[in-house]
Structure 1
Amino acid sequence: MANLELSPHCPEIKGVQDECAVVGVFSTISKPVAEIALEGLIELNHRGQESSGIAIVGENGIQVVKDSGLAEIVFKIKHNLPDTPGASVAVGHDRYSTSGSLSDMQPFSDGNIAFAHNGNLTNIKQLKARFNLPDEIDGAKSDTRMALAVINSLRGTEKERILQTLPLFEGSYCFVFGTKDSLYASRDPRGFKPLVIGKIKDDGYVVASETAALRSMGASFLREVEAGETIQIDKYGLKTIAFAGKNEKLSRCIFELVYFSRPDSVVFGIPVMEFRKRQGEILARHLPDVDVVSSVPRSGIGAALGVVTAEIARISRITPIPVEAFYPNPYRNVAENGPRTFILPNGRDKAATQKYSVIETSVKGKRILLVDDSIVRGSMRRIVQILRSHGAIEVHALIASPSLRNSCYYGADFGDGELLAHEIPDLEERRRYLGLDSLYHLSYAELLEAVLGNPVENVAESFEKNGFCGACFTGKYPTSTGGEINKKEVQICEK
């Protein structure tokens, strides 16, 4: 993803904003639940690389192990997995954040509930005032720790307190809760982030942020946790216990498909790799006259395949097209692999340029087309310089999403001051800044065409009308970002 170099007048990265992964396990006869959770966290490390943690819940309480680093580093080098004999519940979390300490790493525990969260709550300041909470609890300041404090401010059983609290939260959340006898999972009424359920044969269930985690966890895909749904898993099985905000419109994060999710996942019912190839096929309508088409690895690969596929079909060549049949997880055997540069909090530009080595025979004297999923910050400028230094005579770029211009309040880490298109709104000026011979971004309608498989009219409102959030492109936010507490109606599905 070409998104790393800040413009000279961009401010420093600020704030605690997360794009994370959650897993949950309920199992009584398979291998230890912590091992199952770890497998899921390794598969989801692309969503967060700064810390990893697992909590297991048994009759004797909750044991939490968490530390900075990738899941394999935390649990195979730094620490042993948590181990409580007879534990049937595990909660896991991979975290990506631009600041914070060990105190803000997840999962959290109050001794009775283990808790992990993917998303961002927009009204936590107001909830802190309403429930008279401090700015910091045990050194933690995150919205997730404050959410657990809100739960603890209420009376009742763990289950009753969870159900009382959920209607109060605004913003995006996928919550996973573990108690001594149950696993709970809840997704916000607009369904901003993905959350899926997997079935372990003849045993229990798992939940995870993406389908890509399920196979390694020993589970098969069952279904999504629906928007607004809260589920409970225990020794009696899986059941829905509540729905919140049934009248809310879907606002699924379209950037999940564009960038965050693994290409072998199915997100919001859409196969991610097929979506990205459709992006490329649409980009091919704007293909300049070039000699070489190259993705910016790895997230630009799907769109680049789509560009080449469409162009070969157009000129009626019968030429084999390379197709990605495998996804090599770079977070296994991590000593030999580097992490994703977008979610590195420091040294992003250096990481971007060190990550790639130029094949000079493919570049020298050639007109090069770069295909990437998005431009967030601007490291493409450095990549273009490197290509030209190796003899490229022209460098063009096709970008498989519209220009990113606006902050995300729902869990993605880019602020207005960090976005290249916010700093340099004019496309032609941006092209010159990046050193490109041409630059094209998919339009709103073209991106939705890739999602839906057919052209979309009424562009100004089409993201929302089709159940997606595209506020990072349009600036049109599907919810209030001012922090109101608008208690939602909750339908309790059991007595």
Structure 2
Amino acid sequence: MSNELHEECGVFGVIGHKNAANMCYYGLHSLQHRGQEAAGILTTYHQKMNIHKGEGLVTEVFNAEKLSAIQGDAAIGHVRYSTAGGGGIANVQPFLFKTMTGSMGICHNGNLVNANILKQELEEKGSIFSSSSDTEVLGHLIKRQKGTMIERICSSLDKLDGAFAFLILIEDRLYAARDKYGLRPLSIGILPNGAYVFASETCALDIVGAKFLRDVEPGEIVRVKDGQLKSKLYTHDQIVDKICAMEYIYFSRPDSTIDGINVHTTRKLAGKQLYLESPVEADVVIGVPDSSISAAIGYAEASGIPYEMGLVKNKYVGRTFIQPTQEMREQGVRMKLSAVSSIVSGKRVIMIDDSIVRGTTSKRIVRLLKEAGAKEVHVRIASPAIQFPCFYGVDTSTIEELISSRMNNQELCQYIEADSLAFIQEVGLKKSIHFKKEHTCDLCMSCFNGKYVTKLYDSYEKANKEEK
């Protein structure tokens, strides 16, 4: 991807199914696009918890033997790209907490902006952390609260600030909770046998044959025990439903539905809107595989310019942003994408992509197209320019790495060696995402406009210090 965005993570949980580990495996496999660094599954059977996790893709971490060793009737799983805390096996989720009163498993998608403050408070009270992940904070908080388990979890969740979708497995119960801002998605499904399923995206429900019931609401915690689903709000704070705009633009699979809206449809509409805002004369429209294809189809339909497959992706090369050095990232792009000379040679090409972060990959793809004979390359981006760091689970936490914060549109166009460059406007992006009238849902666009949904605590100061 030319955006080089680091994903967040993906979570999946099931309770009430005799092959819970297998179901979790398939669910995580369908969420693999959300994180390719590590994967893990934790199960429970007759109040005994088993776990297996490791670094790598789901298919690399698990096989039939390893899945059979952790069978149970409830499971939670996680695919990871490191954001808070960095990489390493110690940070691979789910986390298993063993205490005198029983065991508990936790996994998490998102990022807590007050994690460092909470960690310091907990360490002063005697807590010792075994990882640098902000997910571990919740486990320590729950242990230190009083009351019933649901009371302890709710009071702990209420202390957290930021973006999160948590799954918590405790012997015979599974809890699912979503942040009070609705930044991270979390869906509920039900299997034909009545087992409940939770997933970061509805595509994972489809894969395991679960029927979508509804989304977990912002500020809500859901508990499943003895086949019964119960729900309550864990906070008295104001609920602000602002789903991350990048879920629609880039993160989610096109066959997923978020807050009642299909991702492919929104991307296609964004492509049409992009043409209305920034038309250009050309011979062919192409999309950067895979998440830009829908927007490219929309742009082609609106413009009447034919859509063609001008770039081909090698499916067996990992995402470029996972490589640890810029040199390796650029080599990854050369391995991953090929221009189709017979499509682009001698043509004026409109290249649609979903976003630009550092700009280096965009430059590489423009060069690829021109080396393949493209006469002109006009770049159109189906998101506004990313000018501000994200602290909610997307790994763009320093201003320095965001090229649009340092260059204006003309400078950036010259840098990526394009013949023209245009981004969709914020108002145009909103037009492409048609929330249902009964929903009060809005979009978090903090990475575009700097209007953050939460307090930032020490995050923004850190980002600026790193820049200097």
Scaled by the length of structure 2, the TM-score of the pair is 0.88
For 1:202-217, what aligned pairs fall within 5 Å after superposition? 202-217=193-208
Contact 1:118 1:175 in 2 (8 A): yes
For 1:304-315, what aligned pairs fall within 5 Å after superposition? 304-312=296-304
For 1:214-293, what aligned pairs fall within 5 Å after superposition? 214-245=205-236, 247-285=238-276, 286-293=278-285
Work out the CA distance in 1 between the residues paired with 2:308 and 2:205.
27
List alignment gaps of at least 5 residues for structure 2.
Answer: 460-468
Give 1:137 shift. Answer: 4.7
Give 1:157 shift. Answer: 4.6
Match of 2:465 in 1: none
Match of 1:462 in 2: none
Match of 1:360 in 2: 341
Correspondence 1:422 to 2:405? yes
Match of 2:13 in 1: 24
Give 1:369 shift. Answer: 1.0
Give 1:291 shift. Answer: 1.2
Secondary structure (helix, strand or coil) at the match of 2:432 reads helix
Question: For each residue in 1:73-119, what CA deviation from the matched residue of structure 2 results, as whole angstroms up to 9, or x when unmatched?
Answer: 11028x7126356x321010000016321001100011211100001
List alignment gaps of at least 5 residues for structure 1.
Answer: 6-16, 324-329, 455-464, 485-495
Match of 1:468 in 2: 443
Work out the CA distance in 2 between the residues paired with 1:65 and 1:44.
18
Match of 1:80 in 2: 66
Secondary structure (helix, strand or coil) at the match of 2:66 reads coil
Correspondence 1:295 to 2:295? no
Contact 2:127 2:140 in 1 (8 A): no
Contact 1:23 1:37 in 2 (8 A): yes
Contact 2:260 2:435 in 1 (8 A): no
Secondary structure (helix, strand or coil) at the match of 2:383 reads coil
Work out the CA distance in 2 between the residues paired with 1:241 and 1:90.
22
Match of 1:2 in 2: 2
**Equivalent in 378, 385, 391 of residue 396 of structure 1:** 378
For 1:4-83, what aligned pairs fall within 5 Å after superposition? 4=4, 19-28=8-17, 31-76=18-63, 80-81=66-67, 83=69
RMSD across aligned positions (CA): 2.6
Work out the CA distance in 2 between the residues paired with 1:472 and 1:39.
32
Work out the CA distance in 2 between the residues paired with 1:222 and 1:249.
22
Work out the CA distance in 2 between the residues paired with 1:133 and 1:191.
31
Match of 1:104 in 2: 91
Residues 345 and 242 (structure 1 numbering): CA distance in 2 closer, same or farther, change over 3 Å?
A: farther
Correspondence 1:340 to 2:319? yes
Letter matched to residue 413 of structure 1:
D
Give 1:159 shift. Answer: 3.2
Correspondence 1:481 to 2:456? yes
Work out the CA distance in 1 between the residues paired with 2:321 and 2:256.
19
Letter matched to residue 66 of structure 2:
N
Residues 299 and 134 (structure 1 numbering): CA distance in 2 closer, same or farther, change over 3 Å?
A: farther
**Equivalent in 132, 135, 146 of residue 123 of structure 2:** 132
Contact 2:111 2:393 in 1 (8 A): yes
Residues 246 and 57 (structure 1 numbering): CA distance in 2 closer, same or farther, change over 3 Å?
A: same
Match of 2:141 in 1: 150
Contact 1:137 1:145 in 2 (8 A): no
Give 1:477 shift. Answer: 0.5
Match of 2:432 in 1: 450
Which has the bigger relative contact order, CA under 8 A and spacing at least 6?
1
Question: For each residue in 1:204-227, what CA deviation from the matched residue of structure 2 results, as whole angstroms up to 9, or x when unmatched?
Answer: 100000000002223110100011
Correspondence 1:351 to 2:336? no
**Equivalent in 359, 370, 373 of residue 354 of structure 2:** 373
Secondary structure (helix, strand or coil) at the match of 1:24 reads strand
Contact 1:36 1:218 in 2 (8 A): no
Larger mean CA deviation between 342-351 and 246-255 belongs to 342-351
Work out the CA distance in 2 between the residues paired with 1:186 and 1:198.
15
Secondary structure (helix, strand or coil) at the match of 1:452 reads coil
Match of 2:75 in 1: 90
Work out the CA distance in 2 between the residues paired with 1:418 and 1:296.
21
Match of 2:172 in 1: 181
Match of 2:422 in 1: 440
Work out the CA distance in 1 between the residues paired with 2:261 and 2:151.
34
**Equivalent in 180, 190, 193 of residue 199 of structure 1:** 190
Larger mean CA deviation between 48-57 and 93-102 belongs to 93-102
Work out the CA distance in 1 between the residues paired with 2:356 and 2:192.
42
Give 1:389 shift. Answer: 1.6
Larger mean CA deviation between 407-416 and 253-262 belongs to 407-416
Question: For each residue in 1:135-164, what CA deviation from the matched residue of structure 2 results, as whole angstroms up to 9, or x when unmatched?
Answer: 995641110012212222224454332122
Work out the CA distance in 2 between the residues paired with 1:25 and 1:345.
34
Misfit runs of 4+, over 4 Å: 133-138, 342-346
Secondary structure (helix, strand or coil) at the match of 1:244 reads coil
Give 1:131 shift. Answer: 2.5
Residues 337 and 247 (structure 1 numbering): CA distance in 2 closer, same or farther, change over 3 Å?
A: same
Work out the CA distance in 2 between the residues paired with 1:82 and 1:183.
21
Scaled by the length of structure 1, the TM-score of the pair is 0.84
Contact 1:55 1:92 in 2 (8 A): yes
Letter matched to residue 289 of structure 1:
E
Contact 1:54 1:91 in 2 (8 A): yes
Work out the CA distance in 2 between the residues paired with 1:408 and 1:336.
28
Percent of aligned positions that are identical = 38
Count of matched residue positions in the alignment of Structure 1 and Structure 2: 442
Secondary structure (helix, strand or coil) at the match of 1:232 reads strand
